[in-house]
C-alpha cells in the first residue's frame, strides 16, 4: 500500500533565523528544504522536523507588529514567531481522533511546539469542510 503524503506545522517562537532553532535551510531548483537539523536543538527535540523535509509554506503572526514592520519583516525575517508548514514524502495522515499537541510557551521561549488542537480542528471543519460535504441524499452542503 502506498503511503500518503502529509503536511505538518511547527510553531517556532522568537524566530531569529533558522539557525536559532537548529535548522539549516537550503534553496534548490525544486523548492526550499531542511538541509540539516542540529542535534539536541529545539527543532531536533520535537522529533517532527527531519533533514530533507520540504518547507511548503510559512505563517508569520503580525499580532505584535507596528505599522511598517510587516514590510520590514517580510524583507528581513527578524525576531518573530514563524510557523512552518512541512511536507515529507511518504508520510501518512494521523489516524482519525489523533491530534497534534500544543504546548503553552512564554514569549521568550525558544522551544519548538506543534500547532493545532481539537478546538482549532473543529472550527476549521465546521467553517471550511462540513459545508462542502455531500449529505447522504446527495445534496451538497451550504457553501455560504
Whether 14 contacts 81, CB under 8 Å:
yes
Distance from first CA to last CA of the chain, Å, rounded?
38
**Quick one: cell of 139?**
445534496
**Quick one: cell of 43?**
527543532
pLDDT at 51 over 80: yes
Say if pTM beats, i.e. exceeds, 0.75. Answer: no
Percent of the chain with pLDDT over 90: 13
What is the rounded average pLDDT of the residues 16-29?
A: 84
Nearest to 61 by CA among 86, 79, 83, 42: 83
What is the rounded average pLDDT of the residues 90-117?
A: 46
Q: Residues of 83-109 as b/e, b for ≥16 C-beta within 10 angstroms?
A: bbebebeeeeeeeeeeebeeeeeeeee
Nearest to 120 by CA among 99, 105, 103, 141: 99
Higher pLDDT, 35 or 108: 35
Q: Which residue has the cell 514567531?
A: 81
DSSP letters of 51-115?
TT-EEEEEEE--TTPPTTHHHHHHHH--SEEEEEEEEETT--PPPTT---------TT----EE-
For residue 124, the SS3 value is: helix
Q: pLDDT, tens digit, for every residue of 69-92?
A: 777 766 776 565 666 667 777 766
> Across the strands, what pairs with 57?
85
Residue 119 has what pLDDT? 67
Residue 121 has what pLDDT? 66
What CATH class does 6-132 carry? mainly beta
Residue 33 has what pLDDT? 94
pLDDT at 22 over 80: yes
Amino acid at each position: 500500500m502506498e503511503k500518503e503524503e502529509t503536511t505538518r506545522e511547527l510553531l517556532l517562537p522568537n524566530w531569529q533565523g533558522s539557525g536559532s532553532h537548529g535548522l539549516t535551510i537550503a534553496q534548490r531548483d525544486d523548492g526550499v528544504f531542511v538541509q540539516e537539523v542540529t542535534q539536541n536543538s529545539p527543532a531536533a527535540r520535537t522529533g517532527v522536523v527531519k533533514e530533507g523535509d520540504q518547507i511548503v509554506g510559512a505563517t508569520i503572526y503580525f499580532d505584535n507588529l507596528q505599522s511598517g514592520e510587516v514590510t520590514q519583516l517580510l524583507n528581513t525575517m527578524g525576531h518573530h514567531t514563524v510557523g512552518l508548514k512541512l511536507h515529507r514524502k511518504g508520510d501518512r495522515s494521523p489516524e482519525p481522533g489523533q491530534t497534534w499537541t500544543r504546548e503553552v510557551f512564554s514569549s521568550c521561549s525558544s522551544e519548538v511546539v506543534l500547532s493545532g488542537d481539537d478546538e482549532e480542528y473543529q472550527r476549521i471543519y465546521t467553517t471550511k469542510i462540513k459545508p462542502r460535504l455531500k449529505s447522504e441524499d446527495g445534496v451538497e452542503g451550504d457553501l455560504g
